[in-house]
Structure 1
């Protein structure tokens, strides 16, 4: 998105450099990414960065509303409420489409948000690998304002470990070895020294949780939660008998499962501004817009773009039996803003915030980018294309 840097990058790119990048990721972690990694990072111009930061802060203001718990009471599905909710989510991610305004300038538009961790471990490693194998300007940075690698790792440590020893903190997931984000789990373990534990490997005694290490029980005092709770239902038969998280347990969460629902698409209708497309709960609309083709239908309780109806019709709406669980959002036109040797790519940028227990407000820590040449953004929708996939943003100094 910075023409001279983009042109220089494309001219210096070689397939062997890309192969070395992918090999470097595997050598460092012992895991081959299960999703496509893009050939290029994204070089973000200063003006767009400033707009992203301002837009992100407006979203954070909504998350920090004093009445947020009351506002989001209906956000948690029945049967998914978990006790001992803490005061705020330790992680918040906010996704923006890169679009063009009427003047042709690049501007961000809010797509989604979540009170849930993203690839905080992997993105740090990916940025380092881009620097090692690709022509990245030395002064460009992927971290949030004022952070370097040491500050970033310390911020993650405060969020994930809290006050506990790494051996008493676990990264918890459903069947982690089969997850596409396994490489991120390994990166996190390497950064912080916490074990990756499957939900089936937890041992409960009264209100205490343990995991087994070398045949011995180790107390779990804090959970870095990477579980999407719907997976517990999806894999119920395979998982067998597991801990009932609806019971009160003597454990801390980072982030508590309830925040996955509270800070989610549920908040889109409450966020306003030039960066926020209009959004409504479907059941609160007295009539559908006449230009329905300019909107998208999003289910509240879905992940990674699943269930989204990009080109809705009245017939789609009529078939929805639970309109209270759907959002109608103004459609966003992604800009083909990144020139590649095989055609222009669209871009979505994720701002990744950390909010330690002892911090007054969230801190922008890291970012993630997705490049696409198809109708849908996301690494699952561009498998047979090149110069697309997961990436990192390097911000102009």
Structure 2
């Protein structure tokens, strides 16, 4: 997207460099991620960087409203409500499709906002590997207002805090088979906390513990939650002692309720030039005639599950529970990144943190996804190159 950096990168690109990058990723933990790593990072020029930062500020202003919990109370069903909710989310993600406006200028358009962790540690690692193997200009950085050491220490202070690392667990469902496992491995390396399957979390009264490799009982004082409720509700085969909705003597970092409060449920409350118009389906008085310009989304699914992209009146009328859906103006991604063949579309996820003592969330890092297909995602990019997960480098 930044033409000079892009030309410089493409002119020096070789498949050998790309393979060396992949080999380094695989060797790091003797693990091959089950998602595609793109051949290129994304170079984000100053104009687009300013717009992305402005968009995050405008959206954050709504999340900081004193009545935000009241606005989002209906997002929480009693059967999913977890006790001891904190004042605000700790982790915040904003996904933007990169588009062109009527004047031909690049502009970010919000796809989704999530009060849930993302690949904070992996994205720092992959940024350094791109820089090691490719020509990334010195005046570009994936981080915002900090270096990697400060970034890791910030994450340590938020996730581990004053606790001993062995008393903090990263909680997930069968973490060894998750697409995000590479981030769990990076987190373990940098923060020294244990990644634990929810079925291995043990209970004793209101206390929680796990058994380490020697069979010793280790108390759990804090949970770094990576369990997605959408997946948990489908896993009737899991046998667990631990249930989210019970009262436990434990601290949450990334309280589960924010997964619901800051989600697609939030989108209709956002009014910004960077946010496509969105309505709760239950509040829609008239179905638009131009449905080809809209998408229908279930509010509490993850990773694009259940989204109806090619929409018609019958699909809307057949929706069993309109309370759980939103209708959103379609975002038209622009293929803005030149590659060695056809240009690719780009989605940038801005990674934010909101520590307890901070007045508002702030941007720390990012994640990029590249696509040659109709939409972002694996099933739209089979057998294609220059697509997949990546990182954005911001011009400074």
TM-score between both structures, scaled by the size of structure 2:
0.98
Counterpart of 2:317 in structure 1 is 318
Counterpart of 1:274 in structure 2 is 273
1:380 Cα deviation from its structure 2 partner? 4.8
1:164 Cα deviation from its structure 2 partner? 1.3
Q: Do 2:81 and 2:245's aligned partners in 1 also have CA atoms closer than 8 Å?
A: yes
Equivalent residues in 2 for 1:110-189, closer than 5 Å: 110-144=110-144, 146-189=145-188
Counterpart of 1:212 in structure 2 is 211
Q: Do 2:298 and 2:325's aligned partners in 1 also have CA atoms closer than 8 Å?
A: yes
Counterpart of 1:89 in structure 2 is 89
Counterpart of 1:339 in structure 2 is 338
Runs of 4+ in 1 over 6 A off after TM superposition: none
1:346 Cα deviation from its structure 2 partner? 0.3
* Worse-superposed segment, 28-37 or 108-117: 28-37
Q: Do 2:200 and 2:240's aligned partners in 1 also have CA atoms closer than 8 Å?
A: no
Distance in 1, Cα, partners of 2:146 & 2:371 = 29
Distance in 1, Cα, partners of 2:49 & 2:72 = 30
Q: Do 2:354 and 2:360's aligned partners in 1 also have CA atoms closer than 8 Å?
A: yes
1:59 Cα deviation from its structure 2 partner? 0.9
Equivalent residues in 2 for 1:26-65, closer than 5 Å: 26-65=26-65
Distance in 2, Cα, partners of 1:142 & 1:241 = 39
Q: What is the DSSP-based 3-state SS (H/G/I as helix, E as strand, rest coil) of the residue aligned with 1:328?
A: strand
Q: Do 2:201 and 2:240's aligned partners in 1 also have CA atoms closer than 8 Å?
A: no
Q: What is the DSSP-based 3-state SS (H/G/I as helix, E as strand, rest coil) of the residue aligned with 2:287?
A: coil
Q: Do 2:292 and 2:311's aligned partners in 1 also have CA atoms closer than 8 Å?
A: yes
1:331 Cα deviation from its structure 2 partner? 0.8
Distance in 2, Cα, partners of 1:5 & 1:87 = 42
1:379 Cα deviation from its structure 2 partner? 4.0
Q: What is the DSSP-based 3-state SS (H/G/I as helix, E as strand, rest coil) of the residue aligned with 1:277?
A: coil
Counterpart of 1:227 in structure 2 is 227
Distance in 1, Cα, partners of 2:120 & 2:305 = 22
Deviations 1:309-342 (A, max 9, x none): 1121001001101111101011111111001112
Counterpart of 2:249 in structure 1 is 250
Counterpart of 1:389 in structure 2 is 388
Q: What is the DSSP-based 3-state SS (H/G/I as helix, E as strand, rest coil) of the residue aligned with 1:137?
A: coil
Output the aligned Cα RMSD. 1.1
Deviations 1:347-391 (A, max 9, x none): 000000011222222121110000001011134532321000000
Deviations 1:41-82 (A, max 9, x none): 000010100000000011111111111111111112341111
TM-score between both structures, scaled by the size of structure 1:
0.97
Distance in 2, Cα, partners of 1:148 & 1:265 = 32
Counterpart of 1:348 in structure 2 is 347
Deviations 1:252-304 (A, max 9, x none): 11100000000011010011111111000011011011111111111101101
* Worse-superposed segment, 283-292 or 356-365: 356-365
Distance in 2, Cα, partners of 1:217 & 1:365 = 36
Deviations 1:148-173 (A, max 9, x none): 11111121112211221211111000
Distance in 2, Cα, partners of 1:273 & 1:363 = 18
Counterpart of 2:327 in structure 1 is 328
Q: Structure 1 stretches of 5 or more lacking a match?
A: none
Q: Do 1:35 and 1:380's aligned partners in 2 also have CA atoms closer than 8 Å?
A: no
Counterpart of 1:295 in structure 2 is 294
Q: What is the DSSP-based 3-state SS (H/G/I as helix, E as strand, rest coil) of the residue aligned with 2:255?
A: coil
Q: Do 1:100 and 1:335's aligned partners in 2 also have CA atoms closer than 8 Å?
A: yes
Q: Do 1:36 and 1:383's aligned partners in 2 also have CA atoms closer than 8 Å?
A: no
Q: Do 2:198 and 2:240's aligned partners in 1 also have CA atoms closer than 8 Å?
A: no
